[in-house]
A and B are shown apart, each in its own frame.
Chain A
């Protein structure tokens, strides 16, 4: 068997490797653009789809890749690397990932170039598609926008991993053996995202300043121009890249099921137009933003971008945002950049879509943060939850939670919201201080207890049933009821207390006979006032309803 590569095979192999490198770069960069990619399957081969995969070619990216390769192919010691980094609007940048396409000396002479190698390269590209969604930078890139952007840089030569910080992890996408060497595709990604310097913290106002007004207009300076090696902004869209002509080698592959000697592989040159790049609107020139800090455990990303506002996420030009987040608080989550802008509503109660941002007002000492703004598909699900659950996660955050959205049905003007009246249901029932035994309704039930629910019976099976009689509390021992899953949450009201509170609710005032018809009249009279109050809050209610949709 002929072990030397025939010239035709050699030419084909070189071509495969070249286009594989170009397609690899396209897949990686497109996966970091921040939007979902969708291409169509086609049952008839179009001729321009290398490796039988529909991967669009962004001309700028191809141009950069070719520039970096400069006519060479990945070889031993000469790897093609795509570096993905993050750059905040203030100019700080950090390398997130390095994708390496390497070649080593281990040859597989027996393998059939135009068939097996081609198919395995195709499989490797599919693996790359899958892996690019799995590294931490993917989620970061989906949320890029105003606070930061994701940039790429292609270089050829020695792999430089030093910018990834300590303890970076590596994932191997795959390998393909060829007669001239083994192609390996891998990714080294940063896991230590504890960010940046203290100087960002110095610039921010103190956290404890209470500012009820979430919406502050603040213009921001535009960011520094992009680094030339990095992804270009939309204004380059019109440029015609010279690479377009020579990337038009069309791959028309025919495969044969007969012995390899009959394999027909044709490559023809043809001109084809690439579609205009569709990525311009995702390239946002960051104009605002602030510090943000990361803590990453293993491959999971939790971070707190602190932003000062959102404009419309789809505008490709710098936005002087006119609405958005709480300016003074650097660590509030942004209103989602991808989910549309927030209209500026100065001095209004929190807009419904801002419910996200209330989740974490965290101190700056690196306490582990909960997850960042959900992507748009998760929005309704999380936002509709009461913020109670989110704020509870670090217990010691109670003191820093001071800007609260008033609960939808709390019948109080906003400026009367106090710490105890957080927007949880039944907030007014929260005990404000330690309960004395005398006040405990379980021990001293109100004079006219209502119907006993079966729950009462079961809960008080220990014998501390106070609802039977009010005078025998001496005979009962107060058992600290610790039901499962209860924990000291926002308030010192655990599930047990909650149960006890509601064992014996006070009687409805409208039902007591004394008040009777008189209260009815009073109620009717007070209705207009109540309506007026609700009307004032109608924007808030609307926003709340919107968050439910």
Chain B
């Protein structure tokens, strides 16, 4: 069981997103061994759209942007392929989070239902002694239902069906991205860490955090875990 992550920033875990935070919910039903790949496919697709190249600030307040590479990923347990940003660090971070989610789903007290959330936020500096605020501006939630299949035939069908479903999800994600709704303003050099995650060496995603919840068989959510994947702002 993962303990509560280092906190600070936003309010209690699971707090409702702020008023102007758009929220999208996707639902998938997958087999146990497909959870990881399905989650990675969705999260990588979202982050592909929410990552830019590294900023290099120059004089006079101008900056140039690095280049984002992409690569194809084939899934082993699903008839599906997706594109992700070519960044091993980012991939590792996502795999770690998804791995924990998968383990939690498998663990006791779970009937195979849970959700993983990817939240993009901005930091707003506050005066001492108050800690910085985190203001989410986009929240993606993927609800997962793990099914158990009895024989190979059903698994084969599941491979294909989940592949099709993921294709639909990708189209949904792209539709949302295409609306060109609120995006944080491009920051000045001093503010860049409030908007972007600058810790990676090859790409620069917007500040994000991933959390998940597992629903137990009673239908209530018993485990809420916040997992920090970015540099935190420590409190006092």
Contacts and interface: CB of A to CB of B under 8 A. Distances in A.
Contacts of A40: 69, 86, 202
Q: Which of B58, B161, B180 has the most CB of A within 10 A?
A: B180
B74 A389 contact: no
A41 B178 contact: no
Nearest to B52: A52
Interface stretch (A253-261, A318-326, A445-453): A253-261
Contacts of B201: 43
B174 interface: yes
A299 B186 CA distance: 39
Nearest to B163: A300
B156 A390 contact: yes
Contacts of B72: 36-38, 133
Nearest to B152: A389
Given A41-B202, A139-B79, A134 B68 contact: no
A127 B53 contact: no
Interface string A123-147: 1101101110111001100100000
A52 B151 contact: no
Contacts of A364: none
Contacts of A254: 58, 62-64
B76 interface: yes
Interface string A393-409: 10000000000000000
A257 B175 contact: no
Nearest to B170: A134
A252 B58 CA distance: 13
A370 B67 contact: no
> Secondary structure at chain A's binding surface: helix, strand, loop or mixed?
mixed
B178 A45 contact: no
Q: Which of A42, A253, A299 has the most CB of B within 10 A?
A: A42
Q: Which of A40, A43, A120, A484 has the most CB of B within 10 A?
A: A43
Nearest to A370: B156
A486 to B, nearest CB: 9
Contacts of A393: 153, 156
Nearest to B45: A130
Given A41-B87, A131-B174, A389-B152, A300 B160 contact: yes
A45 B66 CA distance: 4
B70 A39 contact: yes
A24 to B, nearest CB: 15
B71 interface: yes
Contacts of B64: 45, 252-255
B83 interface: yes
Interface in B50-66: 52-54, 56, 58, 60-66
B65 A45 contact: yes
Interface stretch (A77-85, A170-178, A410-418, A511-519): A170-178
A171 B160 contact: no
A374 B202 CA distance: 33
B82 to A, nearest CB: 6
Contacts of A38: 69-72, 86
A42 B69 CA distance: 7
Q: Which of A123, A171, A300 has the most CB of B within 10 A?
A: A123
Contacts of A469: none
Given A120-B180, A252-B64, A389 B174 contact: no
A131 B171 contact: yes
B28 interface: no
Contact of B62 (A36, A49, A131, A255): A255
Interface string A229-243: 000000000000000
B33 to A, nearest CB: 10
Interface stretch (A218-226, A375-383, A432-440): A375-383
A108 to B, nearest CB: 10
Interface in B164-204: 164, 167-168, 170-171, 173-175, 177-178, 180, 186-189, 201-203
B54 A54 contact: no
B87 to A, nearest CB: 6
B69 A54 contact: yes
A257 B71 contact: no
A383 to B, nearest CB: 12
Nearest to B46: A130
Contacts of B21: none
Q: Which of B75, B173, B178, B203 has the most CB of A within 10 A?
A: B178
Nearest to A131: B174
B48 A126 contact: yes
Given A42-B67, A389-B156, A484-B150, 19 more contacts: A37-B71, A39-B71, A41-B66, A44-B56, A53-B67, A54-B69, A127-B174, A130-B49, A131-B170, A131-B171, A135-B167, A171-B171, A302-B160, A371-B79, A377-B76, A381-B76, A382-B156, A385-B152, A485-B151
18 contacts: A38-B69, A40-B202, A41-B66, A41-B202, A42-B66, A43-B66, A44-B66, A53-B70, A54-B69, A130-B173, A134-B170, A175-B178, A298-B164, A300-B161, A378-B76, A378-B79, A381-B76, A484-B150
By Cβ-Cβ distance, the 10 closest A-B pairs, closest first, are: A389-B152, A174-B178, A36-B72, A39-B69, A38-B71, A54-B69, A41-B202, A41-B69, A485-B150, A43-B54
